[in-house]
Chain A
Amino acid sequence: MIELITTRHNPMIDPSMHVWGWEIPVYLFLGGWVAGSMVISGWFMRRGHTPGEGCVGHMLPWIGLVLLSLGMGALFLDLEHRLYVWRMYLTLQPASPMSWGGWILVLVYPFLALGALASIPGDLLSRWPALARLAERVRDPVTARWLGTANIAVGVALGIYTGILLSSLAARPLWASAALGPLFLVSGLSTGAAFAHVIARDTAEQTTLLRADNVFLVVELALIALFLIGHLTSGEVHANAAALLLGGPYTAVFWVFVVGLGIVLPLAIQSLMAMHRIAHTLVAPVLVMLGGLALRFVIVSAGQYSHWITP
Chain B
Amino acid sequence: MARLGMVIDTRKCVGCMDCVVACKTENDVPDGFCRDWISQRLQGSMPDLRLTITSERCNHCDTPPCVTCCPTGASHVHHYGKVVLVDHGKCIGCKACLASCPYGARFIHPEGYADKCTFCIHRVEKGELPACVAVCPTHSMTFGDLDDPESEVSRLIASRRHFLLKPDAGTKPRIFYLE
Contact = CB atoms under 8 A, between A and B. Distances in A.
Contact of A96 (B69, B91, B113, B166): B69
A12 B102 CA distance: 14
Contacts of B92: 79-82, 84-85, 87-88
A13 B98 contact: yes
Interface in A78-116: 78-82, 84-85, 87-88, 90-91, 93, 95-99, 101-102
Nearest to A85: B92
Nearest to B20: A7
Tier of interface size on chain B: 35 or more
Nearest to A6: B39
B90 A6 contact: no
Contacts of B113: 80-81, 84
B100 A171 contact: yes
Interface in B1-44: 17, 20, 32-34, 37-44
A78 B107 CA distance: 15
A27 to B, nearest CB: 11
B70 A1 contact: no
Nearest to B116: A10
A3 interface: yes
A196 to B, nearest CB: 31
Nearest to B52: A311
Interface in B69-115: 69-74, 89-96, 98-102, 104, 106-108, 111-113
Interface stretch (A14-22, A38-46, A63-71, A182-190): A14-22
A269 to B, nearest CB: 37
A304 interface: yes
Contacts, number: 160
A310 interface: yes
Contacts of A275: none
B104 A98 contact: no
A11 B39 CA distance: 17
Contacts of A11: 32-33, 107-108
A7 to B, nearest CB: 5
A237 B34 CA distance: 27
B138 to A, nearest CB: 17
B144 interface: no
A3 B41 contact: yes
A235 B168 CA distance: 10
A93 B70 contact: yes
A10 B33 contact: yes
B159 interface: no
A8 B98 contact: no
A298 to B, nearest CB: 16
A13 B107 contact: yes
Shortest 5 CB-CB distances between A and B: which pairs? Answer: A80-B93, A81-B93, A81-B112, A8-B37, A99-B71
Interface of A: 1-14, 17, 19-20, 78-82, 84-85, 87-88, 90-91, 93, 95-99, 101-102, 168-172, 235, 237, 304, 307-308, 310-311
5 contacts: A7-B37, A13-B106, A93-B71, A169-B99, A171-B169
